Amino acid sequence: MLLLIGHLNCQNLELYEKETFIFENDTLNYRILKPLNYDPNKQYPVHLFLHGAGERGNDNISQLTHGGKLFLKKENREKNNSWVIFPQCSENDRWPSLKSDTWNETFDNKITTPNKSLGLVIKLMDEFIEKKQVNKQKIYVSGLSMGGMGTFEILYRRPNMFAAATPICGNGSKKLANLYADKVPIWIFHGSDDKVVSPKHSLEMARAIIVSGGSPKMTLYEKTGHGSWTNAFAEKDFIKWIHSKSKKQ
């Protein structure tokens, strides 16, 4: 852990402030990055990021492993300044409503109670976006692997919240895509050679969104396995595309 913390600090990830969100008897750890040159009299976009299964826990630091550096890049902070929220899923929980961690399992096609961790994220977001320093027309969500699945799920649970979404190597409920398909611009990413979460899931989600009246963007990386988030983060327009979107009135 000391080595990990040292590595993270070298990357200036300590700029993400440690926070906790408490609802009744449950606690959600999260990190938050304030907008560059934060002015409490201004309104800023909010970017929610859902990590993968390997970053679960209660250390409130591991969730920054993939993606944390991206939002600290000078050009991103200057040109696409925003709040950035990285919640951490507890070790024995999952963002998506899956019965197990078998990623090829079929998702339920009905709306049930969310898992505890995602439920807390939803409550946090419901509360946070009401701040006067938030531009409610520019709320975004990204996620990778388990977080990509969480991205598809939070979209159908809060279809009117988000202005854009970027699920990476994920999976979701195809039948529930109709709840957000024509409301939220989506850019889907996956690796063609992913053996952990099959790319067929992203392809099927894209098709479901199209069938439901949406117009998703999709990038499939050849000769790429599960770590396709590295490719997605390297896209020149990844952050730019997201921040170009505003919620439909």
Coil/strand/helix, residue 31: strand
Q: Starting from the edge strand earliest in sequence, which strands make up the sheet with 26-33, in order?
A: 17-23, 26-33, 83-88, 44-50, 134-144, 164-168, 187-191, 217-221
pLDDT of residue 249: 59
Coil/strand/helix, residue 142: strand
pLDDT of residue 103: 79
Half-sphere exposure of 154 (CA within 13 A, CB side): 36
What is the pTM assigned to this prediction? 0.93
CA angle 185, 186, 192 (to 5 degrees): 160
Mean pLDDT by 10 residues, the chain (249 residues): 43 91 96 97 98 96 96 94 97 88 80 95 98 97 97 97 98 96 98 96 97 98 98 97 90
pLDDT of residue 6: 42
pLDDT of residue 10: 42
